[in-house]
Structure 1
Amino acid sequence: MTTLSVVMATFRGARWLPEQLASIARQTRRPDELVVSDDGSDDATPAVLADFARWAPFPVRILDGPRAGLADNFRHALEASRGDVIAWSDQDDIWLPAKLERCLDTLAGTGADLVHHAARVVDADAESLGFNHPDPRRTICLDPLQGDPWHVASGFATVFRRRLLDDLRHGRGLDRVAWDTRPNSHQTLRAMHHDHVVALIAFARGRRCELAEELALYRQHGANAAGAPTVRGAAAWWGALSIGADEFAIRADAARGYGVWLQSIGVSSGGYFERLARRWDRRAETYRDTDGATLGVRVTRGLGVLARRATGDHDYAATDRGGMGVAALAKDALATVIGTQA
């Protein structure tokens, strides 16, 4: 029988924690354990956890956290868990009753190693804000190195098999060497969080499924450690137009760092991330070479962008096939002609 651990990190979460704990207790498939690492909360969080542990319909273990930040707090709880399947849990969300059951069914039915589901974004009072995050529009399963390499499966909406972390170069799980040498995230430019680490390993070596079903309420209350995007739609597109060579170079460096780290822990990507880095290097070079150039040079560069697409170069393949997408093609063709701002 597959065993399931819910792994939670807490810090000053007393206001929101009771609702999340109650939603875990209401699951149609209850976890076999809840492991909580509390990072030195000085509010009522320890009391809330202790009270829940007394009546919870499954074992609850409460650990003293390492007091080294969110990611280390999650890793601490993960290392203490025993389940074959792990469900990350934040302290301030609300899980819908079928979350664990649907995720386990998906893992079993597809042979996947990681499942990532949609969630409804709500305010502090759990009232809908009218959009989802994550927001997969269809249910899809992907094999290793398929899909968008920049997509990070949000922890609170992720359930994964522990075997993803087995047989790494330094032993079972994320040992200190693997953890302390993890690369910087392309999102934050700081060491990757727990969920990004697992998402990257899953991208390189696992089968992943995205579920279009809403299985949680993702609460936004102004003090989230991480939150849903605040810029969407037309504003996001407009913001993307100001991104230029420097940002593309950062993305190239991130891809290279991902590949090097994966190789260091014994996960081969067959050169995938080096090729990805070169793709973004080319994009950065195109923008730098165009900036300040004459109109004739810019037009030539723009035609070159279109030619790479026309001749089958995969720079502009769909993002779910590892490319940069049609939107990037349009931006690059336009920006190279009118000149860049980078």
Structure 2
Amino acid sequence: MGQIDISVIMTVKNGEKFLVSSLSSVFYQTYIPQEVVVVNDGSDDNTWDILMELRRKAPIPVQLVNTQGIGRSKALNLAVSHAKSRWLANIDADDKWIAEKLEKQALAIGIFPDAELVVTTSQTVYGDGEGEMQAKGGFAITPMGKESFYIRNPINHSSILFSRRFFDEVGGYDETMTRQVDIDLWIRALQRGHTFYRVDLPLTIKRLHDAQSFEVGNRLGYTFNSFKISLKKLWKLNAPFYYFPIPFVKFAYNNIPRSIRRHLKKS
């Protein structure tokens, strides 16, 4: 496996509850990143103090960038601008990685030298859940073209490893957007003909909890924005017409209370 240099980026706002868990999963990767860059985007809880303590104890260099609150897209672009490596991996402040996550992605890049963005499959945990912390067995690497995106966004933002060249070519995160900024990036990349690669192991843990912005205060606004983005995605990717009813069905389903949705998934 060839060596690639990786910077890990994170943006956080009021992430004190899960910050230690998230960054600890980065610090103890089997494939060690060169650095971590964290943008504290206007937190008013104990996030900054926790970050300072984590930096003091971290086994790898940690850059901390403090803002008064510039928004998700600008904060992500700011993190990328501070990172030093040719490859960058994002992790959200309430998610975490299995220890072999970066190692498997670096291996995928060695197998597919044309890869510019590599993701993994994910586990989902609720609240304080931990998930399965060991990767079991071998794995496949699956190319992902635009057809993979017709029904849903198949990429967990915390699973991505991408080249700086890819990021610069696509134009970074759209700073006019405040929500679901990742899918816009994927649409632009797919329009340019990029193929993504997926490591088919659940090496990323996505945490769902009641404090997330889309569950607090304005879930209807969040799901309506998701509905609009889904229609835009289908239009931009020239999807067949029979995919267009799907966003309407998902909008209705996503406005059912989470407790009922979880019950429906289990039944």
**What TM-score, normalized by structure 2, do the two folds share?**
0.72
* Pair 1:46-2:48 in alignment: yes
Bigger mean CA offset, 63-72 vs 32-41: 63-72
Structure 1 residue corresponding to 2:174, chosen from 179, 193, 196: 179
Computing the radius of gyration from Cα coordinates, the structure with the larger value is 1
Aligned to 1:24: 26
Greater RCO (Cα-Cα under 8 Å, separation 6 or more): 2
Q: 1:36, CA displacement in angstroms?
A: 0.5
Aligned to 1:79: 81
Aligned to 1:124: 127
Output the CA distance in 2 between the equivalents of 1:254 and 1:216: 24
Aligned to 1:202: 189
- The one-letter code matched in structure 2 to 1:198 is L
CA contact (8 A) 2:12 2:41 kept: yes
Aligned to 1:8: 10
CA contact (8 A) 2:42 2:70 kept: no
Aligned to 2:118: 115
Distance 1:248 1:192, change over 3 A: closer
Bigger mean CA offset, 218-227 vs 69-78: 218-227
Output the CA distance in 2 between the equivalents of 1:249 and 1:47: 38
Output the CA distance in 2 between the equivalents of 1:110 and 1:251: 29
Output the CA distance in 2 between the equivalents of 1:249 and 1:62: 34
RMSD over aligned CA atoms reads 3.3
Distance 1:250 1:216, change over 3 A: closer
- SS of 2:89's equivalent? strand
Structure 1 residue corresponding to 2:63, chosen from 48, 56, 61: 61
**What TM-score, normalized by structure 1, do the two folds share?**
0.57
Structure 1 residue corresponding to 2:210, chosen from 222, 225, 249: 222
- The number of equivalent residue pairs is 226
Distance 1:81 1:249, change over 3 A: closer
- The one-letter code matched in structure 1 to 2:29 is Q
Output the CA distance in 2 between the equivalents of 1:254 and 1:215: 26
Q: Which runs of 5+ in 1 are unaligned?
A: 130-136, 182-189, 228-246, 259-272, 281-315, 317-323, 332-342
Aligned to 2:35: 33
- SS of 2:200's equivalent? strand
Output the CA distance in 2 between the equivalents of 1:253 and 1:93: 27
Aligned to 2:149: 148
* Pair 1:90-2:85 in alignment: no
Output the CA distance in 1 between the equivalents of 2:143 and 2:81: 28
Q: Which runs of 5+ in 2 are unaligned?
A: 133-138, 216-225, 250-267
Output the CA distance in 1 between the equivalents of 2:185 and 2:229: 22
Output the CA distance in 1 between the equivalents of 2:96 and 2:50: 16
